[in-house]
A = this chain, B = another copy of it.
């Protein structure tokens, strides 16, 4: 009998961003995004929690080697976003607003490509201790 289990691994990065819609004027952006629309940017310590679900390997007792998962998160999320200006320096946000929702989706998509399809994948992204988003299969 196989056992379905979930395994979670956390990572973190620090970045700057600005929330606004390019097609809107400053007043409309100010109204919708408030302080987050600051054209000089502000920033956060982001925390990511990656959740994989699948069957435990009965020999090793592992779902996935956590060192491998750690390495994938480091390369695809931590090093890719860390100490960056998300709007100016991250390809995926050239035309996409870097809200906590969209950073979560992009993190998911970057990880999804590197992980075997036998794993179900969900990503939780914390922008602050009080705000977070979750996205996944």
Contact = CB atoms under 8 A, between A and B. Distances in A.
Interface of A: 3, 5-12, 14-17, 19, 21, 32, 34-36, 38, 40-45, 56, 59-63, 65-67, 82-85, 88-89, 96-102, 104-105, 128-135
B3 A83 contact: no
Q: How many copies does the complex hold?
A: 6
Contact of A132 (B7, B85, B96, B100): B7
The majority secondary structure among interface residues of chain A is mixed
A22 B8 CA distance: 26
A16 B40 contact: yes
A101 B105 CA distance: 27
A42 B98 CA distance: 14
A135 to B, nearest CB: 5
